[in-house]
Structure 1
């Protein structure tokens, strides 16, 4: 494995100690997109997998040690060089957090997820992933929480598949799947006036930033994250369909010329407008994440990493037209964007990496948790720097926040059975945000489909928000043709 700096006389600072850069093994430098999620308090993606059979904790831990070798980013930490570039490294990384608890209820996974998602990852010690096994002798729930900077939803699917595969067959030959920078697999863009203007804007912003930059660390991130989760609690409402119901919906969608994903997204949008009111103007748009591995111009293995594009486009549900006509319009727009590999929402402009740290993880939260900015000297100085360029960018970016972000992994093409173990159900939880009304995560295995509607619920509102989200889920079920599945429960 190469070393950082390629022979240049650079250095890194780790826990207050300076080291020569060439003493550290590294994988590659983080992209600005990956840095967007490094310090943010709500930048985790999670997967809950219900597994039938009696799982051995000892065998699962042994399989995990091998899986972390297969997928290097899952076992990586972050090293910063003198210029505050961030590098993935597998040198002297701690073992991932793993705990086992006895299963006492079918919904216990939510309590564990709510607890674990509040705990910040420390990028400089790594790894940025943790595991909870909720165990019984007949069925168990495996909860995996991971920082979005190193993975996406399909990464968690591949990780869990490989973990169970090695658990079943630990003597098999292991192939290391090297992480990639997904931008290298996209077609090179041609000249456009928009790209030229963006380069000019970011060039000016960088010059202003570099006159008075701020360098954030784990202590700063912990202060913001703790303050954020003192105000909010992670919550979710599930839309679940059994195999027969999924097949029925699929048949109807095919007759209407739309995908299940497009139909579910349209149903949640109109349900939200029925229950919570119309989206405000800037929220009448969607970001639709999609898997770049399936669409890259060069073949990409089942790599563990952040490999998503996300087109942003305007969409308004037309209440004068039938539901299925609206779903067809949405389906056409989504597939047009994906076919063009439209990923501009997820590709960040040529900003300085530390500018990206400040904007995505600190400037955007200044008004949400102002009390956090008294916790460290660095945050105090930054908070008081009211004319800092990142604050004006944050103000403008609020008008770009969409009303809906649907992250649908679709039907999974992975085995359901691993020896005497069987995957019964998977639930995907993408990154959430208090500024996005609809954060959806979809996944289907064995024709058992689950969409999560997840959100940070303000603690001072009790369960009022959850009550509204349950109504939205129930109304979405009506539009999809399943009114009898309405329930007063959020999950289960």
Structure 2
């Protein structure tokens, strides 16, 4: 157990991969930061070959086989020393939508941070169709990394003798370095003041604290999502429609959901009328197909104008985002140089004190953290939360991946970004094999202690489909009922 007073710790140098960045620590210990992807695979998937391919993939991507260790100053490092195999739980597949319950339940189980690995799999297996579920701590990956992991897994499944080359994971903060700016200088001043107060009596959190918070948060909650699923013909129709208006599919889905939220739930308050749009660095910075957290983001205000049509709003949104993304210099990640342990506190532990107070009674460290009147992280938590935008849309686009891998075929991918009560609208989109799927995330309450937001999210999805020109796809379920794929 790590108490809030500083203790001497030894960093595990064996198997050292690299130091964790401040950006990665923002997502490291939060119970709202597990990212997931589902792959539907048609054909007689061989479990033994899949297990061997999964082991081989970890040789390509070191963070698939990583745990976290701390030094005496509580800097965090990724290490591969004595990390177990990536676990894969195998269960019989009995229905097309069985994967939904399985991934929701698996997402409620915390990772063992200081044992590793920070990724796990579930395989719903049948002779004709299988669903592979991959869940990962957000500190080591993003949506594109999960797609790369699944692609490489299937490539090695088809060709076990393929030559393996290790791809070292980059630190995104070394790629997107901020320049000199007034905002950056102000951030440094704020960080210096905050660090000085924090370091007088810091708190250090470990896997026991993370597990206590994670398990308590998800004890009476479950990740929820509704899906926009487009088959090959519908995907082509959507693509053509967006192309004719000069916008991307991601922009159209984003604005449709913003408009629909206004119709169903009312307009967001002015402070919340902000968008954080992640963008893929692997493609933009030519990093190669690495498995790592390789995402930048742009932040900007946006309000849906009732005086304009849906497509006029979408054009404004698209032009605003893409003018920023097309700038000669990629937007930097300008995170003030906070103490790493303070980043754990403000991004994870302070944010959930009022949402899951029972977690802060489970050990001495969390009790003191909650009750300390001089805790600067708790005093700044409201400001941190106020800066969280209403919309976080992630569109991975069309993934370059084969449809067939020997005697099996990849039918579709479903990307599920982390579910959070802090962000009202979180979108995840991906296209593969001619099919586009978007997910809209929320946090549900299986125990019935709160009103479920699922019905509102279904209404938002349905209203968005109507705006996009797909009224025939409106239905009252979160996920469409699908037929058993035929070979």
TM-score, normalization by structure 2: 0.94
Stretches of structure 1 lacking an aligned partner (at least 5 in a row): 1-11
1:94 maps to: 84
Distance 2:353 2:69 in 1: 26
Which residue, 210, 217, 227 being the options, matches 1:228? 217
2:138 maps to: 148
Distance 2:179 2:9 in 1: 41
- Spell out the pairing of 1:237-276 with structure 2 (5 A cutoff): 237-276=226-265
2:463 maps to: 475
Are residues 18 and 96 of structure 1, via their aligned partners in 2, closer, same or farther at CA, if it must alter by over 3 Å? Answer: farther
Where 2:212 maps in the other structure, the secondary structure is helix
- Spell out the pairing of 1:78-93 with structure 2 (5 A cutoff): 78-93=68-83
Structure 1 range deviating more: 95-104 or 43-52:
95-104
Which residue, 393, 409, 434 being the options, matches 1:422? 409
2:381 is aligned with 1:404? no
Deviation at 1:280, TM superposition (A): 1.4
Which residue, 196, 203, 206 being the options, matches 2:192? 203
Structure 1 range deviating more: 463-472 or 431-440:
463-472
Where 1:362 maps in the other structure, the secondary structure is helix
User: Is 2:276–2:392's contact at 8 Å kept on the other side of the alignment?
Assistant: yes
User: Is 1:282–1:401's contact at 8 Å kept on the other side of the alignment?
Assistant: no
Distance 1:304 1:284 in 2: 32
Distance 1:386 1:417 in 2: 59
Deviation at 1:22, TM superposition (A): 6.9
Structure 1 range deviating more: 330-339 or 63-72:
330-339
1:353 maps to: 340
2:483 maps to: none
Stretches of structure 2 lacking an aligned partner (at least 5 in a row): 481-487
1:305 maps to: 292
2:276 maps to: 287
Are residues 137 and 462 of structure 1, via their aligned partners in 2, closer, same or farther at CA, if it must alter by over 3 Å? Answer: farther
Per-residue CA deviation, residues 81-114 of structure 1 (Å, 9 max, x unaligned), is 1111111111111112211111111111111111
After superposition, the CA RMSD in angstroms is: 1.8
Distance 2:263 2:14 in 1: 55
2:113 maps to: 123
User: Is 2:12–2:79's contact at 8 Å kept on the other side of the alignment?
Assistant: no
- Spell out the pairing of 1:26-105 with structure 2 (5 A cutoff): 26-105=16-95
User: Is 1:76–1:126's contact at 8 Å kept on the other side of the alignment?
Assistant: yes
Deviation at 1:418, TM superposition (A): 0.7
2:203 maps to: 214
Per-residue CA deviation, residues 399-437 of structure 1 (Å, 9 max, x unaligned), is 111111111101111111111111101100112210211
Distance 2:380 2:291 in 1: 31
Which residue, 266, 279, 301 being the options, matches 1:314? 301
Distance 2:435 2:116 in 1: 34
Distance 1:293 1:339 in 2: 15
Where 2:139 maps in the other structure, the secondary structure is coil
Deviation at 1:38, TM superposition (A): 1.6
Per-residue CA deviation, residues 95-151 of structure 1 (Å, 9 max, x unaligned), is 122111111111111111111111111111000000000011111100000000000
Deviation at 1:462, TM superposition (A): 6.4
Where 1:224 maps in the other structure, the secondary structure is helix
Distance 1:21 1:399 in 2: 36
User: Is 2:55–2:86's contact at 8 Å kept on the other side of the alignment?
Assistant: no
Deviation at 1:19, TM superposition (A): 8.1
Deviation at 1:458, TM superposition (A): 3.3
Deviation at 1:468, TM superposition (A): 1.1
Per-residue CA deviation, residues 208-252 of structure 1 (Å, 9 max, x unaligned), is 000000011111111111221123211110011111111111111
1:6 maps to: none
Are residues 387 and 20 of structure 1, via their aligned partners in 2, closer, same or farther at CA, if it must alter by over 3 Å? Answer: closer
2:378 maps to: 391
Are residues 133 and 263 of structure 1, via their aligned partners in 2, closer, same or farther at CA, if it must alter by over 3 Å? Answer: same
2:325 maps to: 338
Where 2:140 maps in the other structure, the secondary structure is coil
Which residue, 152, 160, 166 being the options, matches 1:176? 166
TM-score, normalization by structure 1: 0.93
Distance 1:236 1:399 in 2: 24
User: Is 1:33–1:347's contact at 8 Å kept on the other side of the alignment?
Assistant: no
Distance 2:409 2:252 in 1: 29
1:489 maps to: 477
User: Is 1:133–1:142's contact at 8 Å kept on the other side of the alignment?
Assistant: yes
Distance 1:241 1:124 in 2: 40
User: Is 1:38–1:123's contact at 8 Å kept on the other side of the alignment?
Assistant: no
Which residue, 443, 448, 460 being the options, matches 2:430? 443
Are residues 326 and 62 of structure 1, via their aligned partners in 2, closer, same or farther at CA, if it must alter by over 3 Å? Answer: same
Where 1:413 maps in the other structure, the secondary structure is coil
